[in-house]
Amino acid sequence: MIKLGPAYIGGYKEAPGNLGEFHKLGFKFAGVPFTYSVWLSNQQASEIGKIAEKLDIELSIHAPYYINLNSEEEKKVQASMKRILDSCERAHYLKAKNVVFHAAYYMKKTPEEVYDIVKKRILEMQAIIKKNSWNVELAPETTGKKSQFGTLQELIKLHKETSCSFCVDFAHLEARNGKENYSEVLEQLKKAGIKNLSVCHFSGIEYSEKGERRHVTTPSDKIKKLLTAIENSGISANIMNESPDPLKDSIKSLKLLHAL
């Protein structure tokens, strides 16, 4: 099963109307971007969450971008963890299943060293989530730059060793690997025993040898290729569009899905 939707719900005042429109359009999934700050209170999150639940729309949060669990400054690591955990608290009240975040940069360390650091921080945050009884999963994201932690293999391993969730961004993986490889990605997931992707991101993407440069609107042929690959794989996926025009591209994606 594939669920689709845009990577935004608007602000607190706009969210109820936007969610109602999403429901009419047939979307079953939508994103709450805390791009620069955690801008909802718990009460506001609860109100929006009840509306989304009534409309049968699943939500996912993207934590603020200012995160690096591998910073050389402990103060910055703690600030990063606080942004993720604040997002988790709001996710609990929103009834959002997961909190997506870009975990770290490699900086001067090896990928193996950074993996161990990220794993340690994930386990620390999971203990806090459990202590607070927040019903939410951490979902580190596959990243689009080679300087960032977040290959598919790293996140599959992290999932196996910590039971965290993870977000597959198909556009990021294309930019990171320098090729469109939807079927290959899905095959790796199947080999790892993963049958459900609770959150995926997708859009058009521009990239260089170093990886991602910027998101662009999503070409129809790429949407069709991805949807076909997922359908053929037998994996269930919730796909959020992150292009500069996520609503238009989500509508286009839904039409293409119905035409398969």
DSSP track, 65-112: S---TT-SSHHHHHHHHHHHHHHHHHHHHHT-SEEEE---B-TTS-HH
Global pTM?
0.96
DSSP 55: T
47-97 confidence digits (pLDDT tens): 999 999 999 999 999 999 999 999 999 999 999 999 999 999 999 999 999
pLDDT of residue 83: 98
Residues of the chain predicted below pLDDT 70: none
Q: Tell me the CATH class for 2-259.
A: alpha beta
Q: Which residues pair with 101 in a beta bridge?
A: 140
Q: Determine the Cα angle at 232 with ends 227 and 234, to 5°.
A: 100
